[in-house]
Amino acid sequence: MDNYVTVIAAAAIAAAAIDARAQQADIAAAAHIPIPEDPDPRIKKLAVVTVTGGRMTSLPSQIPTTIEGITGKDVEAKINATDSEDALKYFPSLLVRKRYIGDYNHAVLSTRASGTGNSARSLVYADGVLLSNLLGNGANFTPRWGLVSPEEIERVDVLYGPFSAAYPGNSVGAVVDYMTRMPRQFEAHVKVGAFTQPFELYNTKATYSGNQASASLGNRAGDFAWWVNVNRLDSDGQPLVFTTRLVSAGSTTATAPPVTGAVADKNRLNQDWYILGTSTQYHTMQKHAKAKIAYDFSPTLRANYTLGLWHNTSDGKPESYLRDANGATVYSGNFSVDGLGYTAASGNSARLVATDFPRTKESLEHTMHALSVKSTTRGVFDWEGAVSAYEYGKDRARTATVALPAAETGGTGRLTDLKGTGWITLALKGIWRPGESDGTHVVDFGLQQERYKLRNRVTALSTDWRAEDGGTPFSRFQGDTSLLSVWAQDAARISQNWKAVGGGRFERWNASNGLTQSLKPPTVTSPDCDESVLAGSCTKSHPSRQASTFSPKAALAYQAAEHWTVKVSTGRAVRNPTVSELYQGGFSSTGVFQNGDPDLKPERSWTTELSNEWDWDASRLRVTIFHEDTRDALYSQTNTSVTPNVTNIQNVDRIRTLGLELAHSMQDIGMKGLGVDSSLTYADSKVVQNDKFPSSVDKWQIRVPRWRANLLVSWKATPAITTTFGARYSGKQFSTIDNTDINGFAYQGSSKYFTTDLRLRYQITAQWSAALGIDNLNNYKYWNFHPYPQRTYSAELKFDL
């Protein structure tokens, strides 16, 4: 990876320097940027969008719907941002499930009517490149946040809801668009930071710390521009997973030796259990490098190329709380607590079952490429062509199947290899302005192709799980999906005070090459179990599928008064099943394929919002009512209508959400430099029909709380000093679809929370700045299956040239 960084820097510098010409662009009024002038008063009258001399967001700002934004300078001044997803920390109704600094595999985005288990119900882009991982849906398929460092962010915009025909049905929750820096002149930046978290939970009492360094360099000259950014993060997170035993599962006749150290607690169902220790605490090392080159063929035609490299290694360590009579740590074998007997699993190399206290290691190298050519005449017709590829060059996860302490020196294990996985996107767009002379029409249209490829192979390692390659094939699953889309939308000015947008998206979805294979169960024959591919294994090939859908979109805006605008938007979104949901699974003891479901239906959602917006010089207020009705929602649940019951990814017949969102911003209130941004969200989100699991009807949707609120108060006390206070609140929520997890403050539970943050930034000189921060100042202990970070201190020093 260090060689990659050197190559990128050399290539970018050799490419020459450039003048990245400023583009005049429409940007969401919600971005809270003071606008000195308005070159297009027709737009200003309707208060749908405003214009500023900055880089263009790729979001469809012509659509009169909710778009919120923040600039990179505001992120730097006001937010303790150690990862790019921190830029979204105080957006209305959004939550990123970031478990620790550098969380690379569970940081899922939650939106108004989608919880943190629904990663495939939102889209994240960086400079038009897809970062969302649509190979699956859930915690293991998070956006690739690591390919954007906080220092390179120029701005972030969020489009709420599936109201633009330019995006597929995965936009049902929100579309996040990161725009990263391109220089207008020579510039260089270096930043170093450190953070530390004293952590106390159960019998763990430790301090987890880390550090971060970032450097950027860029220039412009003539028709060329280049930009290079490198970033390194070294982070120790708090324990995330715990080893437990139900009190009721203990044997009263056992004669196992007694141990001390087990912690009595209640689980999420409020049952008594023991916490035996931690089973995952990550030490993560991330390296990120990105090079961007732009060339202007003419004043109105530009080409851009981006190369991003991301390398991640993690070391997962457990800690047993159990001690025997001699004070030695107990990792496996029989033991007793308060007279009840239990067994700590020591692993099973034959079935590749890990121990109760597993050692793990991961090593990932991912590459991102993107090339675009864009016309910006601002005349009757403009166009853009873009292609991007995201590749898993290396993606290996290792787990020991032998117990500690022996696992520290080798032994058996399993290797999960995802090499060959990735996705490719192609987009052709056009903008036709037949009414440019009077502003009556702006027509956007396009053709898009997306292809997703998942290859997951598990092998058994016989000698050294830490470094052994190859191994004996144990299981695998794979599959491809593709989406071909044609879309168009017309933004029409009906009159001086009315604007309407209508559009639609036609999609052709395909799933193919589906295959599931695992070690053959002890028993026998089944039509699902074909041994022809690998002797001793069950292998099932899944038939290809195709489906076609059409999703209409519409929006309307009315300028009711000088400072008051009314907007209404509605749209249909179809979220197709991912490869993982279709094919990831195994076989029962009788050889029947289970867990995945190749016959899953797509989610179909109708979303509507009605907004009233008041925009004055120093303040802005938005009141939005939103409604979402989803049929065939995709969730893991138990089908109780069959015998025996089956638990896997299933279609939930209908989920309905009705909510209210308030967003308020005030600047220079009471004293110069004082600003307040706040939001409040109420969402009544319930399962209204679920024939496979009737006990879930009228229960809350998983991880969608009724109440959420954010507050960010900033004060620019002097031109050099900015102080910020932030607060975030989320109410009660559930992680089970039947809401039986009544105890949110437990491992595997989902709790309410209220946290506060502080930041102080000092501009020492024109080049040097420093910042101190505290996240979770009140040290609130809260959960989202895993424990969130406790009070965390951070410091950073930056040089800008």
595: left (phi over 0), alpha (psi -120 to 50) or beta: left
Please answer whether residues 114 and 148 qualify as being in contact, where contact means their C-beta atoms are separated by less than 8 angstroms.
Answer: no
614 falls in which pLDDT band (50, 70, 90)?
very high
pLDDT band at 436 (very low <50, low <70, confident <90, very high): low
Residue 588: pLDDT band (50, 70, 90) is low
* pLDDT given for residue 535 in this prediction: 60
Average pLDDT over every residue of 280-297: 95
Q: Kindly tell me if the per-residue pLDDT of 460 is higher than 80.
A: yes
Collapsing DSSP to helix, strand or coil, 741 comes out as coil
pLDDT score of 592: 67
- Is the pLDDT confidence value at 17 over 80? no
Rounded-to-integer distance, Cα 154 and Cα 124, Å? 15
Chain centroid to Cα 125, Å, comes to 11
pLDDT in tens, 226-279: 999 999 999 999 999 999 999 999 998 878 999 999 999 999 999 999 999 999
The backbone torsions φ and ψ at residue 694, rounded to the nearest 5 degrees and listed phi first, read -60, -30
Phi-psi region of 49 (alpha: psi -120 to 50; beta: other; left: phi over 0): beta
Residue-level pLDDT at 671: 78
Backbone angles phi, psi at 124, to 5 degrees: -125, 130
What average pLDDT score do residues 141-170 get? 94
CA distances from 475 to 34, 338, 455, 539, 584 (A): 57, 40, 11, 9, 10
Reported as a pLDDT band with limits 50, 70 and 90, residue 475 is confident
Look at the pTM and tell me if it is higher than 0.85. yes
pLDDT band (50, 70, 90) for residue 52: very low
CA–CA separation, 726 vs 777, rounded Å? 10
Rounded-to-integer distance, Cα 192 and Cα 196, Å: 14
Q: At residue 442, what are phi and psi to the nearest 5 degrees? A: -135, 115
pLDDT bin (cut points 50, 70, 90) of residue 113 is very high
| Segment holding 207, helix H or strand E | strand 204-221
Separation of alpha carbons 208 and 416, rounded Å: 28
Beta bridge partners of 341: 251, 336
Predicted local confidence at residue 561, as pLDDT: 93
Lowest mean pLDDT across 86-100, 429-443, 512-526, 686-700 = 512-526
Mean pLDDT of 133-156: 93
Q: How far apart are CA 263 and CA 338, in angstroms?
A: 11
CA 105/CA 140 separation, integer angstroms: 5
DSSP-assigned letter for residue 11: H
Query: What Rg value do the Cα atoms of the chain yield, rounded?
Result: 27
The rounded mean pLDDT for the chain is: 89
Q: Confidence band (pLDDT; 50, 70, 90) for 441? A: confident
Query: CA–CA separation, 672 vs 690, rounded Å?
Result: 55
Task: Count Cβ neighbours within 10 Å for each residue of 383-402 and write b for 16 or more, e otherwise.
Answer: bbbbbbbbbbeebbbbbbbb
Instruction: Give the pLDDT score at 590.
Output: 62
Q: Write the pLDDT tens digit of every residue in 524-538.
A: 556 666 655 556 678
At the top level of CATH, the class of 2-240+281-318+358-800 is mainly beta
Instruction: Name which residue leads in pLDDT, 55 or 317.
Output: 317
**pLDDT tens string 158-173:** 999 999 999 999 999 9
Q: Give the pLDDT of residue 434.
A: 84
Distance, CA of 732 to CA of 713 (rounded, Å): 25
Q: How many Cβ atoms from other residues are within 10 Å of residue 433's Cβ? A: 18
Q: What is the mean pLDDT of residues 451-470?
A: 93
DSSP 290-303: EEEEEEEEETTEEE
Q: Is the pLDDT of residue 94 over 80?
A: yes
- The token pair that represents 422 in the structure block: 């990735």
CA distance 49 to 662: 19
Q: Which residue has the tokens 């990659």?
A: 4
Query: For residues 256 and 336, is the Cβ–Cβ distance under 8 A?
Result: yes
| Rounded Cα distance, 702 and 114, in Å | 8
Q: What is the pLDDT of residues 616-655, one digit of tens each?
A: 888 999 999 999 999 999 999 999 998 888 889 999 999 9
- Residue identified by tokens 């740590």 is 329
| pLDDT greater than 50 at residue 307 | yes
Mean pLDDT of 18-36: 32
* Average pLDDT score over residue span 379-385: 91
To 5 degrees, how large is the angle CA 505–CA 507–CA 512?
Answer: 165
* pLDDT over 70, % of the chain: 89
